[in-house]
Amino acid sequence: MGSGFGGYAALLGAARNSDTYRCAISINGIADLQMQIDHGIVTGNKALRRLQIGDDPAKLARDSPLKLADKINIPVLLIASAKDWQVQPDHSKAMASALTRGRKKVEYVVIKGANHDLERQSDRVKLLEQVEAFLSAHLGAGKAS
């Protein structure tokens, strides 16, 4: 489980190591590196995004969870903040679509009015309720470790 870059890491871990984890949670996570670079272009942050992420198309594809969705074999919870300008909600939406097309177990939740940092108490409560329900369903008592 992670948020932002941590959400990216959770998705990449699910794609590369599904046998290691029982489920994954991405909160406002990056799903596609090229999409994140493109968003940087829109916000005027093109050079910084390319410097941070790189520009080798093969590496971008190899390291983008969206391109690896078919390799994910564990349940995934995607939580997106509707007003996130740091990691566009399009990342979670695209990942949810890819997982659904691949007949993978995915839950997709958009927190309306929330920003990247989930600053409002009501947004954090919604997040925690979703995480608790998801973890209870996939790591609940009586399941094998």
Look up tokens 């992420």; give the residue: 53
φ, ψ of residue 79 in degrees (nearest 5): -120, 125
Specify the pLDDT at position 27: 98
The count of structural domains within the chain is 1
Closest CA to 96 of 112, 110, 83, 107: 107
Specify the pLDDT at position 81: 97
Whether residue 129 lies inside any domain: the answer is yes
Whether residue 68 lies inside any domain: the answer is yes
pTM of the complete model:
0.88
Specify the pLDDT at position 47: 60
Specify the pLDDT at position 1: 97
At residue 138, the 3 state secondary structure works out as helix
Range of the domain at 80: 2-139
Contacts of 70 (CB under 8 A, 6+ apart): 102
**Model pLDDT for residues 53-98, shown as the tens digit of each residue:** 677 888 888 999 999 999 999 999 999 999 998 899 999 999 999 9
- Alpha-carbon torsion angle 51, 72, 103, 109, nearest 10: -60
Specify the pLDDT at position 46: 60
Specify the pLDDT at position 38: 80
Structure tokens at 28: 């406002």
**CATH code where residue 13 lies:** 3.40.50.1820
Whether residue 145 lies inside any domain: the answer is no
Whether residue 26 lies inside any domain: the answer is yes
More confident: 47 or 8:
8
Whether residue 144 lies inside any domain: the answer is no
Give the whole-number percent of the chain exceeding pLDDT 90.
72
Mean pLDDT of all residues belonging to the chain: 89
Helix axes 46-53, 33-42, angle to 10 degrees: 160
